[in-house]
């Protein structure tokens, strides 16, 4: 034990650090604020005691701390407010051996007792906590908290005799806790992240907020590792990622009550899981609930954008959007329905409102003239029949309008022929179909976003599959999203929900997606080994086939008498030629690789650049594809390779590149 100080020792005030309480699964955990946030809170605490309430933004501006109420409140999403504490004294907990801060009032009492003990050299001080627990200050290095054990005769013995001791520490520097450095103040770019089906977004059943927190933390470490030069030159701050939640809005419409009423009582947990997650896909394909979903996503992104600009008036960066699973499809549908120039489109919309009925009737007149039925124009005009209404007409409707049988047949034949030969250009997505009505996008009014996204990132996306199911055969190479010039489709090779996009643009070519380079450079070792073994097996196969071919040729050659020496020489040359052939075969694959190096034209959807990017699977995942399929769909939140691609493409729009280009990247 260290020696006790002599009377009249020097007292130094304790340096406080601010903590907040995090509740997970009914367990409380005290988490320290970053060093810069704690300093800011301490400054405000010292300056704003007399004020009613001081609000200090923390955690990169995503949480506000109300100093007087000691509450930490989320800014951009709904979350239960948590307690905040100015901490100086701590004791070690029983369950996980982590230090827990004492209340501020009791900490002040402890500090006062400590000050007297140090100044006067009077130790062995006893203090009683609000819970009637005893703390004894033996010396500056040994302070113990006695926690009494409950029994029927508590009054018989003192808590000190009966309790078990806990370690007490003064000051945050004396406890084992990692204090984060904090985030750069400068925000270069804003990214909205939309989740997929269900309330849980990863294998640990965490919410979109927690998963996006992981994504953001990985991005901060990737910036330090790969953009160090730009950070030193203060060209780079950070990218802010904000979650967009639509699941809670959808399931607060009362549909859960309706589903509960018709759900069978057996296998209750599985049925509840299906109702809460998988049914979201069917909800999106219903025009009623699709409208709720797209309205929620668009209005939430607009709200978050406006709130972010209010809180960051100096922000001059761009905005991008990212979607996981079904969230990427929702964003794709929203983006395909954006108007390139809102002012012009609004002007056109106003004009069309005033002339829509006339325009529609004029089109019907043109059709009737083409069919040599101009005399019936007045009838159609009287019924206010426009082109759309005409194509919905049945024989019964035309008969009720008084159209004779002959003209009726002509009109119906024209409508059916147009339906059969219909090529529906849905914003450049070419659909070939016999009956276009039930296909294409779900019928909904897609809202407009208040900004033009720079890039759209899709993680584990089923966009390609949904487009195919809707009747889209191919995407026009000249097509690009009206307001967004960048589009990246990123997927894990074992993700069962992910589909490619590029083969829909160039169906005549077969080519692999771009392999995402590992964030530490080069390919993963097991992939290099696999490729090496594949190359070796091809070489062995070619050599073996070459040897067998030579043997077979010599075996099946007709026996010719050696009439001339010249003929035998010719045969020897032929044999030598055939023997040399296998040697030249293995050199062909590199030539084929060289031919693939010219870039593949995948259209304008991503500004002429590649769209499909595949992650490298981990060594353990390559043992069994099926075992890691679910993990493959939920791996993106903590994937350094995914995050690095997102950062690389975002900063490339600002002319900032990686410190060292990764091999295999564009």
Using CA atoms, how far apart are residues 318 and 129, in angstroms rounded to an integer? 53
Whose CA is closest to 650, among 361, 327, 227?
Answer: 227
Q: Are 639 and 615 in contact (CB under 8 A)?
A: yes
Exposed (0-12), middle (13-18) or buried (19+): which is 191, by Cβ within 10 Å? buried
8-state DSSP, 451: S
Quote the Cα angle for 648-654-659, to 5°.
45
Cβ neighbours for 445, distance < 8 A, ≥ 6 positions apart: 291
8-state DSSP, 564: -
Using CA atoms, how far apart are residues 339 and 251, in angstroms rounded to an integer? 30
Helices 326-336 and 287-311, packing angle to 10 deg: 80
Phi-psi region of 18 (alpha: psi -120 to 50; beta: other; left: phi over 0): beta
8-state DSSP, 31: E
CA distances from 79 to 19, 22, 63, 65 (A): 18, 11, 10, 13
Phi-psi region of 503 (alpha: psi -120 to 50; beta: other; left: phi over 0): alpha
Using CA atoms, how far apart are residues 275 and 247, in angstroms rounded to an integer? 12
Give me the active site residues, please.
Answer: 325
Cβ neighbours for 648, distance < 8 A, ≥ 6 positions apart: 226, 657, 658, 665
Whose CA is closest to 345, among 479, 250, 483?
Answer: 483
Using CA atoms, how far apart are residues 489 and 323, in angstroms rounded to an integer? 10
Using CA atoms, how far apart are residues 245 and 242, in angstroms rounded to an integer? 10
Using CA atoms, how far apart are residues 497 and 277, in angstroms rounded to an integer? 14
Please tell me whether residue 117 adopts helix, strand or coil conformation: helix
Q: Are 609 and 487 in contact (CB under 8 A)?
A: no
Cβ neighbours for 104, distance < 8 A, ≥ 6 positions apart: 85, 86, 87
Whose CA is closest to 443, among 322, 331, 337?
Answer: 337
Using CA atoms, how far apart are residues 287 and 298, in angstroms rounded to an integer? 16
Q: Are 68 and 52 in contact (CB under 8 A)?
A: yes
8-state DSSP, 274: I
Please tell me whether residue 374 adopts helix, strand or coil conformation: helix
Exposed (0-12), middle (13-18) or buried (19+): which is 550, by Cβ within 10 Å? middle
| Residues facing 134 on adjacent strands | 128, 146
Q: Are 511 and 502 in contact (CB under 8 A)?
A: yes
Whose CA is closest to 664, among 536, 534, 527?
Answer: 527
CA distances from 136 to 109, 132, 292 (A): 13, 13, 61
Q: Are 618 and 625 in contact (CB under 8 A)?
A: no
Q: How, if at all, do strands 472-475 and 318-324 pair?
A: unpaired
């Amino acid at each position: 034990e260290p020696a006790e100080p002599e009377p009249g020792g020097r007292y130094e005030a304790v340096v406080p650090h601010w903590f907040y309480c995090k509740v997970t699964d009914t367990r409380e955990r005290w988490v320290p604020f970053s060093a810069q946030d704690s300093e800011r809170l301490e400054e405000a605490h010292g300056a704003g005691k007399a004020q009613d309430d001081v609000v200090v933004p923390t955690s990169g501006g995503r949480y506000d701390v109300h100093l007087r109420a000691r509450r930490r409140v989320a800014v951009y999403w709904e979350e239960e407010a948590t307690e905040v504490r100015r901490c100086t004294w701590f004791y070690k907990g029983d369950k996980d051996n982590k230090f827990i801060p004492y209340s501020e009032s009791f900490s002040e009492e402890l500090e006062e007792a400590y000050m007297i003990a140090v100044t006067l050299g009077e130790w062995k001080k006893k203090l009683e906590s609000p819970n009637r627990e005893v703390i004894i200050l033996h010396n500056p290095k040994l302070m113990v908290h006695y926690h009494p054990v409950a029994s029927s005769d508590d009054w018989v013995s003192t808590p000190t005799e009966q309790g078990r001791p806990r370690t007490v520490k003064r000051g945050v520097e004396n406890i084992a806790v990692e204090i984060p450095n904090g985030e750069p103040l400068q925000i270069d770019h804003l990214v909205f992240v939309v989740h997929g089906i269900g309330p849980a977004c990863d294998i640990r059943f965490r919410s979109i907020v927690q998963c996006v927190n992981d994504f953001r933390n990985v991005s901060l470490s990737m910036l330090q590792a790969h953009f160090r030069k730009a950070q030193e030159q203060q060209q780079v701050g950070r990218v802010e990622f904000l979650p967009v939640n639509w699941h809670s809005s959808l399931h607060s419409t009362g549909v859960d009550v309706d589903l509960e009423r018709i759900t069978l009582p057996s296998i209750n947990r599985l049925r509840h899981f299906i109702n809460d997650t998988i049914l979201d896909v069917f909800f999106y394909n219903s025009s009623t609930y699709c409208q709720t979903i797209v309205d929620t996503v668009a209005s939430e992104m607009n709200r978050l954008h406006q709130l972010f600009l209010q809180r960051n008036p100096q922000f001059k960066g761009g905005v991008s959007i990212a979607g996981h699973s079904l969230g990427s499809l929702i964003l794709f549908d929203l983006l395909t329905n954006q108007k390139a120039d809102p002012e012009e489109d609004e002007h056109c919309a106003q004009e069309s409102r005033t002339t829509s009925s006339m325009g529609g009737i004029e089109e019907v007149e043109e059709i009737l003239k083409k069919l040599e039925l101009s005399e019936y124009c007045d009838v159609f005009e009287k019924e206010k029949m426009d082109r759309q209404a005409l194509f919905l007409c049945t024989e019964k409707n035309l008969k009720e309008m008084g159209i004779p049988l002959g003209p009726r047949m002509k009109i119906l034949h024209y409508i059916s022929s147009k339906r059969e030969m219909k090529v529906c250009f849905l914003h450049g997505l070419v659909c070939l179909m016999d009956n276009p009505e039930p296909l294409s996008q779900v019928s909904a009014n897609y809202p407009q976003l208040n900004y033009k996204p720079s890039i759209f990132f899709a993680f584990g996306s089923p966009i390609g599959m949904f487009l195919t199911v809707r009747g889209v055969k191919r995407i026009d190479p000249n097509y690009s999203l009206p307001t967004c010039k960048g589009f990246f489709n990123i997927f894990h090779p074992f993700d069962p929900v992910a589909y490619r996009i590029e083969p829909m643009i160039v169906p005549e070519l077969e080519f692999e997606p771009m392999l995402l380079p590992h964030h530490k450079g080069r390919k993963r070792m097991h992939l290099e080994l696999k490729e090496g073994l594949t190359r070796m097996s091809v070489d062995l196969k070619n050599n073996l086939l070459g040897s067998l071919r030579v043997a077979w040729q010599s075996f099946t050659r007709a026996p010719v008498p050696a009439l001339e020496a010249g003929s035998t020489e010719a045969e020897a040359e032929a044999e030598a030629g055939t023997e040399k052939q296998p040697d030249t075969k293995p050199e062909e694959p590199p030539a084929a690789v060289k031919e693939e190096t010219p870039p593949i034209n995948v259209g304008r959807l991503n500004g002429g650049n590649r769209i499909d990017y595949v992650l490298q699977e981990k060594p353990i995942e390559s043992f069994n594809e099926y075992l890691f399929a679910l993990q493959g769909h939920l791996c993106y939140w903590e994937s350094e390779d995914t995050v690095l691609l997102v950062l690389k493409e975002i900063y490339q729009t600002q002319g900032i590149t990686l410190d060292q280009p990764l091999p295999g990247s564009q």
